[in-house]
Amino acid sequence: MFAKLAQAYPLGATLCDQGCNFSIHSTDNQEIKLVLFDIENKKTIIDFDHTHLDIHYTFVPNIKAGQVYGFQIKDKHNERLILDPYAQALNQTPFYVEPFTAEESWKFTKSVVIDHQFDWQNTVFPQVPYEETILCETHVKGFTQLQEHIEEQYRGTYLGLCQPAAIEFYKEQGITSLQLLPVTSCMSEPHLLKMDKVNFWGYNSLCFMAPEPRYAMSDAVTEMKTMVRELHKEGIEVIMDIVFNHTAEGGEGGPKFHLKCLDKHYYLLDSNKNHHNYTGCGNTVDLTYQPSLTLVIDTLRHWVTHYQIDGFRFDLAATLGRNGHRFDSQSAFFKAIEQDPILQKVKLIAEPWDVGPDGYQLGNFPRGWNECNDKFRDTVKSHWLGDKNNIKEFATRLMGSRDFFSAGGWPDKLPVNFISYHDGFTLQDLVSYNHKHNEANGERNLDGHGDNRSFNHGVEGKTDNLSVLYKRERQKRNLMTTLLFSFGIPHLLAVDSLSHTQGGNNNAYCQDNEISWANWILSPDNISFKNWLAGMVKARKEVMSPFIRAFSGRERGHHRIRWNHSNGKLMNTDDWQNLEAFALYLGLYKNGKELLFLINSSTIPTRYRLPAGGKWRIICDTSESVLGNRQTQTTYMQSTQSITILSRE
C-alpha cells in the first residue's frame, strides 16, 4: 500500500495524512539511508526501497510534522549524518566544534518535517509598482535588538520586525519593500568559529529552504510567515536576499554538510575535480547541472508558495548565469525563472557580479531583472565627497544610467540605485571617516573594501566640532536627495535613517553586537535627519514617480530635457568638462509638470536664473535641515555644495 505513495518527486520530505515521503538525489553515495530521531534522540535507520535517476526515495507511514531526520552515508570508514539539502526547517541553530568529523556530524543540527498549513487571513501580495518602490535593506536581528519600544521578547526576531513600533517606523519613512539580509539557514565559517564569532550577515547558506533558527523565539517557520503576513497587511513587501552562488561547505578541506557527500557535480569543478572559487567563498554552485538548477528553482518556488515572499535579491548573481565558466544572459537559470508561472510575478534583483571570469555584468541581465547599480554609488559619492568633478558621469547616473539600462525597458528594467549597502560604510560613516577601521573583525584591518570614496570633513570619526558636523549633515542630505530624485529604484539602508555609525567598520559581517545593531538613541541632529528623510521619500513618491513612469518605455521620447548653466543658457560640449554649478530641467510632454534640479558642487554660492512661466515650489534645499513650503519665481541663490529640487505644475 505504502509503496504506491512513494514518489521520486518532489525531493525532500513531503507530508500527507498517511505519513511522509522522503526523497534525495545522491549519485556518489548509493548506500544512503534515512535516519529518524525520536524525542530522546534515539535513531531508527530505514533503507530506501526505490531509486530513479539517482534519486532515492521511500514512504514512511504515520510520520507527523516535527519529525527530526537526516541521512546516513558512508564517509571513508565511518558513517556520517548529513542534512537534507531540501530541509524546510532545522531543529536547532547550527553549530559545531572544529574539526567537523563524522562523529561530530551526529551532534549537529538536523532536518525537520514541516506541515505548511498557515492562516494567511486573506492577505494578498502588495505588488508595489517598480517606479513607486522604496527598498529598505535591514537585518532581522540587528534592526530591532536595541529598539526599546518593542517588547524585549520580540527584539532581534522575525516577530520583532512586525511589531507596531517597527511598522510605524516603516510607514513613517515611506518604506514600501523590506529587503532582508539572508534569512535562510546559515553556518559560520571555520575561521569565525575559531575566533568565537558568527557570520552575522548570513551570507553562508546551509539549507536554502530552511529559515534561520537564531531569529525565532520557538518556531522559525510559523514566525517568519507571521512576519510576512503582518507586513503584507500594511502593504509592505518582503524581499529576500538569497545566496545560491556558494554554500557553507567551503572549498577543498571544508566541512561536509550535504552536497559534497551526495554528488560532486553540484559544484563547479576543474579538470582535477577541485572546486572553482568564483565567489571568494571556496566553492561555486554549478547551475548548468540539472540537480543544482532544480534545487535552486524549487527553493524559489518554496519561498513564494509557502511564505508569500514578494521577490529576491540574488547575491553574486553573475555566478547563477554562468554557462560553465562564462556568463550567459540566456542561461538555463534565467529561462527557468522566465517560464515559471509562480516566479514570473515576483521582483528579481541581481547583484550583477562575482570574482570569476566575465565577473562584472552590470546591465547584461535579461528583461524582468533589476540590478544593483554600483556605478551610481561610486559616481555620486565621488561627486559630493571626492575631488573628482565628472559631471557628465554624474548626469548619466542621475538620468537612470541609460548607458547600461535603456529607458525602453523601464520601469521593469530600472536600475537599483544605492549609496550605502550592508557592506561598506553606512551613510554616517561615509561623511565621518577617510579610512576603514575593521580591527574588531580580527583580520588586522586587511578585510573590507579600500575604495570607499568617503570624506571625514577634517576629523576622523566622532567630533563636537559644529562646523564639521554641519558639513557632514549637509552632505548626507546631498547624497540622499541625489538618490531619491534619480531615475531608478532607490535602495536605502535602514540604519541610515537613524544616522547609525559602525565606528568606521566597513565589513561588519561578523559583528553581532552594538557595531551592527541599530542605535535607537537619537541626538537632535539624528532626529532632524530622520524627519527630513521621511519627508523626502514622501516627496519622491509624489513628484518623482510620475516622471519615471512618463520617461519609461514608448513614451520616453515625448518629454523635455535641458541641461543649463546657472544663468539659464544651454550647456555646450565644453561645459561638460569643468562646470561645477549647473541645472537639469525636466518637463512632461509640451506643457505638463516640470522639475528643476539646481546642482552646485562648488565652494561658491551661485545665483540661478529660473525658467519663466510661473512660480516654482521648493521641494528641498540641502543647505537647510528642514523641509519648508516655500516658493520662488525668477531667481534662486544656491548655497555652496548643495542641491535644490523645485517643481511646477
3-class SS of residue 153: helix
Find the catalytic residue in 286, 315, 393, 594. 315
245 contact partners, CB below 8 Å, separation of at least 6: 278, 279, 281, 284, 285, 315, 316, 317, 319, 320, 354
Find the catalytic residue in 84, 237, 263, 351. 351
Contact (CB, 8 A) for 403 and 394: no
The residue whose grid cell reads 541663490 is 637
Pairing of strands 55-61, 19-25: antiparallel
List the 50-52 sheet strands across, edge first: 12-16, 19-25, 55-61, 50-52
Distances (CA, A) of 247 to 104, 119, 139, 184, 285: 19, 32, 20, 11, 8
Please confirm, yes or no, whether 286 is among the known catalytic residues.
Answer: no
Could you tell me how far CA 239 lies from the centroid of its own chain? 8
Contact (CB, 8 A) for 308 and 232: yes
Please confirm, yes or no, whether 104 is among the known catalytic residues.
Answer: no
Give the Cα separation of 168 and 166 in Å (integer): 5
Q: How many CB atoms within 10 Å of residue 482?
A: 26
Q: 104 in the Ramachandran plot: left (φ > 0), alpha (ψ -120 to 50) or beta? A: alpha
Give the Cα separation of 157 and 623 in Å (integer): 39
Contact (CB, 8 A) for 29 and 76: no
Give the Cα separation of 322 and 224 in Å (integer): 32
Give the Cα separation of 564 and 103 in Å (integer): 72
Which residues are known to be catalytic? Answer: 315, 351
